[in-house]
Structure 1
């Protein structure tokens, strides 16, 4: 037993680490540096800086505060004793220890456990065990909450689960299991499998040896074998996955169209880009397949005691908005009893929630009876809002576009703009405004001419997805970004149009055309874009969002679809093409392409009555051709012209990228039979074969040596 700060580090049951997975090897690449970072007393305050300076997947995975998102909505109040299995470097340990009476952590890695202990050395209620579960299990007690992280869930067995549920869980307690889905959509889309690092390894089947990822059905089987009643099990679906969760769905609230928009999430390994992720995910949603193909699971297991009261208050949907400055960080929860809450991530965020509450009253005065503002009420750690349902104006406009066309959709947008940006009341916009400059930039303010108008209060987030129609009511759902200083109404209009266009299926809309249609000056477009950038900087503050580190960390994307298209195009160019003609010249319009598989081709072709001339092109590069068979009407062709040189037998050499054979004087309705083998040959090899043959120059008909031809090629390239 070792004391690190106030944390007890127990290595009594530790033995040499078992074989780690490929995922754990990648995660531990910078473990020595991470240990040095957390040993610094000031490290929690410099977390973002530590991650952003020389960023890596290992540091992001272990140190990012976003790792806690998956547990935040369930840890709003104090709990009893907590056990964390697979605690690693402690990405989740801190939030568990904050809410626990006591917290025990277990990880099979001694180095990770050491990092965890140093990282949380100020906690007086934390014990970190380094060792395998089988050795440490006798030391464990009873717990009101057991959290199983991914590194442990892939080693979970029905026996271990039964032991946790029957021996170590209080009757009123819960087990939370975080697990990767073997059939996760990301793996179908070309992301390497987490544990093996191989493409499609989980989809193609696993060996049955631990560790392994599991599908939803396979988890159902383990839970059943672990003697856990199905009515005490609930599934959540972290999106995009449980490591960096930005939304949490459930069977009671699955994703809606347009919500699954994160496609760049491969920070650890290079991925394949096989198809349009957003469109395919939408197809899965429409066919009810999201639960089976969710990238991760959060499995909530209730103990044997009463839990009916908990199920009413349990979240069914969570959206996280904490990739921001601390004062603007919160998450939105919809509970089973249809309560909606915006929850502050920290105390600093409560001031922002109080501001939102105040802006509700200001907006009600502005809009009067024309528009309802979603009612809110301040609670201890959150802002509670009315739960309302209905069709958004975004959906309404998009349906209008699909059914009635662009002009009708433009009228819908015009009606919306007139509703949310009323003609009265208006106040002047003053360019000398320090509040405006702090949020949107001083140079942007100077760009607006005198006479520019503003609303008394301005909700800059009046996007069409934030307003719904419900039984004749028009209700503004989200008014978080409402300011009580003057903002040009043109910017409010621009943001409505900009975010309407950013949705899927707007390829037929041009931003500039839409801007002009609604009376915005194109010269102001760069000003609006600058205001938007400055606003995003204002929101994020010093916080470095995970998405901003993507290009600095990711190994990249291999665009399979593009490469396949290029390969197919190349194959099309290099296939054998027949040109048909009578008295006219040969042309692409009167030609036909035949694929060449493995360099070999065999075909029988009935020619049209008006075909008296035939050109055979075996590709578009220098090559060797072996004519096994070339017959017309069952007779071998004895006379033909070509752009190459016959070497021996049926072998022809073409030393330039335009090989062809030409047959003249064909009788109407002839039958062509052709068997050919084609082997591309580089110019360098042909030049090395000087003296073996003297190919004919197709332009002059004169046979020239390869030395002459190589010299011409060299001169051409030099010039």
Structure 2
């Protein structure tokens, strides 16, 4: 095909190296995706479908893999394997220019249509090894879900290292390469999840014996490959549950603790096997310091000279636009800080309210302190408190339900039981009804100001034994039955440790042993549902991931 450049809006498409046909595709669903974008129905199809291709190509959760990265506004970015543009948009927002390389015309047109209002994107349509002779130097080069396919598209006996060598040639002196790839011996693959590219379990665990075109690697193998091509500086990060739909990003400096990872029923692509309780295994692995070796995916930043400040990132996207935020733990000039940022224009006022909430809220008693912060450039900064959350502390009682209940009860009395002068009589207000609905517990008392997010995961005991509340996102100045706060904390805790207790301690028995009456539980459950609607839309319609959960198989199902 002769040299030709087309445009879709402000996006340029270079056809010079297009072979004339798409050599891979997810099938007709890509046409459905394209039509939905043209008709401005991207959100509609995402919230109504259950097809993996729709979720993978359209969910903005995909952006989490790159949103936190330090990319200078004047950077030139090369995105190899840009697909349908799930990451292209966030790169475009961060950088001066983004050059993309993509082999599929259909995916290129989807990408261009999604980003047609941008004017800093150019897509080269064709095989990377053909296109790369036209490429210049870049400050950031991404290989997100690409390195594993080098055996199909890169010539030579060593296609994976060859790809890295070629990419390195286009890296500026202070540039960096960002690689996202599955860990072939990640815990979910040991537990029976199908290998992502072959669709069969244990292919990676068996080191791809008989498979030559596509493969993933262990962490040590990747380090050796990077070292071999001269990329001596590399930082490893660990997306959870994996790099495709990451909710959290851990680093070598901040790793998960017991209770942090709960990924049961997050199999969105196809039916999978669960040979064992993955969350329980993750707790043990995290406790034993083995998480880095068995993380499901890796995110690697490698280069000659670069700096990354973020140590941890967490995203809340399945909410109404006005409540979508990120939480990052970041190195700053003033030390390590926790930074909460808006992910949408509408959420900036929510970030501002967090500071107001922090100032207004007073702990229930003098056993609990609060971390304090400040607003800077539209973000909420607070100090990073080193220590253990109450969730992590309670891990030692995971196999002793009596001691677990006893300890939870003691913690409720210690941190949630209010001083008398902090209580007022509850009365239903219009503000209460807007957030929690019409149901409530009669003759209740209320905190004067209520922090309903005072969860066990949001209380940290520091190295000196002081207890700190660290989250002020959901603080309300109208009366709320104060026992709702401790019930909510207990509910979250049971969900964290449910795998350990569900077979001999039901959640209703758990509530009863902690002193919650049936009528309270009924009211609090409805309040929680209504609060979920307040944050995530009616019937929590912004929470769409559950639509994509695929069936699973356990040994018990097979044996009978």
User: What is the TM-score of this pair, normalised by structure 2?
Assistant: 0.90
Q: Distance in 1 between matches of 2:397 and 2:50?
A: 46
Where does residue 614 of structure 1 map in the other structure? none
* Aligned-partner SS, 1:299: strand
Q: Distance in 2 between matches of 1:322 and 1:285?
A: 26
Q: Which residue among 213, 218, 230 is the counterpart of 2:216?
A: 213
Q: What is the CA distance between 1:34 and its match in structure 2?
A: 0.8
Q: Which runs of 5 or more residues in structure 2 are unaligned?
A: 151-158
- Is structure 2 residue 186 aligned with structure 1 residue 193? no
Where does residue 575 of structure 1 map in the other structure? none
Cα pair 2:258 2:282 within 8 Å, conserved: no
Where does residue 181 of structure 2 map in the other structure? 179
Where does residue 547 of structure 1 map in the other structure? 545
* Aligned-partner SS, 1:124: coil
* Aligned-partner SS, 1:71: helix
Instruction: Identify the structure with bigger relative contact order (alpha carbons < 8 Å, sequence gap 6+).
Output: 2
Cα pair 1:182 1:213 within 8 Å, conserved: yes
Q: Distance in 2 between matches of 1:293 and 1:19?
A: 33
Over residues 478-523 of structure 1, what are the superposed CA-to-partner deviations in whole Å (9 max), with x where a residue is unaligned?
Answer: 2221111111113123213222322323345444444344543212
Where does residue 480 of structure 2 map in the other structure? 487
Cα pair 1:273 1:560 within 8 Å, conserved: yes
Query: Closer, same or farther in 2 for the Cα pair 1:541/1:387, shift >3 Å?
Result: same
Q: Which residue among 506, 520, 524 is the counterpart of 2:520?
A: 524
Cα pair 1:29 1:58 within 8 Å, conserved: no
Query: Closer, same or farther in 2 for the Cα pair 1:282/1:28, shift >3 Å?
Result: farther
**Highest Rg: 1 or 2?**
1
Query: Closer, same or farther in 2 for the Cα pair 1:358/1:407, shift >3 Å?
Result: same
1:285-684, aligned counterparts within 5 Å? Answer: 285-303=286-304, 305=305, 307=306, 310-311=307-308, 314-336=309-331, 337-364=335-362, 367=364, 369-397=366-394, 399=396, 406=402, 409-410=405-406, 413-424=409-420, 425-431=422-428, 433-442=429-438, 444-445=439-440, 448-449=441-442, 451-470=443-462, 471-504=464-497, 505-507=500-502, 508-541=504-537, 544-551=542-549, 554=550, 556-564=551-559, 566=560
Q: Distance in 2 between matches of 1:177 and 1:243?
A: 12
* Aligned-partner SS, 1:261: coil
Q: Distance in 1 between matches of 2:521 and 2:256?
A: 33
Query: Closer, same or farther in 2 for the Cα pair 1:119/1:315, shift >3 Å?
Result: same
Aligned residues: 537
Q: Distance in 2 between matches of 1:532 and 1:243?
A: 30
Cα pair 1:11 1:110 within 8 Å, conserved: no
- Is structure 2 residue 135 aligned with structure 1 residue 131? no
Greater alpha carbon shift after TM alignment, 496-505 vs 84-93 = 496-505
Q: Which runs of 5 or more residues in structure 1 are unaligned?
A: 567-719
Query: Closer, same or farther in 2 for the Cα pair 1:272/1:374, shift >3 Å?
Result: same
1:19-98, aligned counterparts within 5 Å? Answer: 20=24, 25=25, 27-40=26-39, 43=40, 46-74=41-69, 78-98=73-93
Cα pair 2:325 2:341 within 8 Å, conserved: yes
Cα pair 1:397 1:409 within 8 Å, conserved: no
* Aligned-partner SS, 1:154: helix
Cα pair 1:491 1:528 within 8 Å, conserved: yes
* Aligned-partner SS, 1:503: helix
RMSD: 2.4
Runs of 4+ more than 6 Å apart: 400-403
- Is structure 2 residue 44 aligned with structure 1 residue 6? no
Cα pair 1:328 1:349 within 8 Å, conserved: yes
Cα pair 1:185 1:295 within 8 Å, conserved: yes
Query: Closer, same or farther in 2 for the Cα pair 1:181/1:394, shift >3 Å?
Result: closer
Cα pair 1:501 1:509 within 8 Å, conserved: no
Cα pair 1:275 1:561 within 8 Å, conserved: no
User: What is the TM-score of this pair, normalised by structure 1?
Assistant: 0.71
